Structure 1
Amino acid sequence: MIHIATLRKGDIVLSGRVFCEFLLYKHTGIFDGENVIHFRGDKPGIVESIQTATVRISSLNEFAGDDTDKLEVITCPDDIDREEVVERAMSWVGKKFNDSTWNLFTNNCEHFSRWCIFEKAESKQLETMPSVLLEFINHVTVICMKVIREKIKPDSGLE
């Protein structure tokens, strides 16, 4: 985790997104010195959110869901101009990144953030997705087994 005071313009900020106490993925954006520029939707529901996804500016609190203590950072390399990183990010505000709909595999928030720094749209999280999915399935199985054990009491005759 990071201290907000260590954030510098042009860094990638990451905020974990949790489901049933399991870290599913990390939402990413570019820190502009005060706020975060990121690619996401603004509607409830997956389909509506995908369709409305644009690059937008949010406060650190909004971006982190008021949990800034858990933010992480990928530091912009020293040989890259931080001002140019922010300019690249700002050039997409209000638009769909790559003029395309959000897509988990080809056009997501991490593709946007990494493109702003490295000028290459890629997602390192996708490289680890198979192991994350297996961990998630295991996590859900454990939760389900706890619920089943609570529902089936020793005196119910269902054991």
Structure 2
Amino acid sequence: MSEVFTRGVCLYAMARKTGKNKFKRPARAIRKIIKKLVRQRSLNQKHQLCLLNAEDKALSKNKGKASNSYREGIVTAARGGFLRDAALINERYADFLLNDVEDRQQASQQVGFAIRRYEERGAIRTVEELQSKYFDLLKDDIPKDLGFGGGRPSLCLDVLESSGL
């Protein structure tokens, strides 16, 4: 069922990016499948439904309800021990905050949460990709007194770790 959820997330991402029905229809069909599973008491998919609901509400330009659904999904995934999914929801929420709400501060915070959760899971390559993708967003969070001249966050972390700090 994980591949169906992943396909749904990708379809919603493309639907939000392009606005095309060829992505919206199958995304909503997958959301319907997950919704049916949750109704049948499949609790492992509740956080997945929250994310798909959030993406659907974001697609419908319902920003308030989308934010609430993203937050509910993050909490539900974290409480259920689904750290990878919680990180994914943080990442998608950051994208929503950055592109739809235009709240850079909250988006930066959500990217930071996603990075920490991916690090906990040992997904170092994913962390590096996020740090690279959101470099402009994250560079303000790097302490200025380190003397790295605003280098990549992962490079700063590598230097700190090797120096024993």
TM bucket (normalised to shorter chain) is under 0.3
Which has the larger Rg?
1
Higher percent of residues as strand: 1
Q: Which has the higher contact order (CA 8 A, sep 6+)?
A: 1
Higher percent of residues as helix: 2
